[in-house]
Amino acid sequence: LKLQLKAQTASLAKMQWQQFQAVPPPAAAGMSHEELIAQVKELQRSDPGAKEQWAAYTDLSGGGRRDPGKHAADYLQSFLSHLQSGVRLPASVPMENPSEGPTVAEAVKVMQRKSMSFKNVWRQFCMDFGGGTNDPAKHPVEFMVKFFDFLGMRAGGGSGPAGG
């Protein structure tokens, strides 16, 4: 059963990452780094959907750094291509804003204290996919989201994601 769950989780994680990586060729090729920064900043100011996608994109692959000036030109080009592709990432989970309630890492810590079953599943997931690091604060939010997807899949009978 453990091997089956491990294979299902690895498959789910791979499918999610491939979905996020399915980006067409850069739409902003040939633009300077400064022009790319200006374009991303303008999109953030003028388009709430683009601003949400920037937040999700940076949380997924940019270390949560929201300032476009802190990213290389190819990263900004990749984001603009992603935005143009029409593929939408799920909205970001708040990182560390106390006014928005507890962080995902704090929630995982509370659940570890409250439930031995949760703690054991979290520990195994971290061993299998997180390099053995059990402290949720040392994992990116997307790792914890994949863990919760894994829990949901287990709770749903391990049938995998609907619509693949």
Q: Is the pLDDT of residue 106 over 70?
A: yes
Q: In the chain, pLDDT over 70 holds for what percent of residues?
A: 70
Summarize the confidence of residues 110-122 as an average pLDDT: 89
* Contact by Cβ (8 Å): 64, 1: no
Tens of pLDDT along 40-87?
999 999 999 899 889 888 877 777 788 999 999 988 998 898 888 887
pLDDT of residue 149: 79
Tens of pLDDT along 129-142?
888 888 988 888 88
3-class DSSP state for residue 85? helix
pLDDT of residue 147: 86
* Contact by Cβ (8 Å): 128, 2: no
DSSP 69: G
Q: How many CB atoms lie within 10 A of CB 141?
A: 19
* Contact by Cβ (8 Å): 66, 54: yes
pTM exceeding 0.75:
no
What is the rounded distance in angstroms from the CA atom of residue 37 to the CA atom of residue 121? Answer: 42
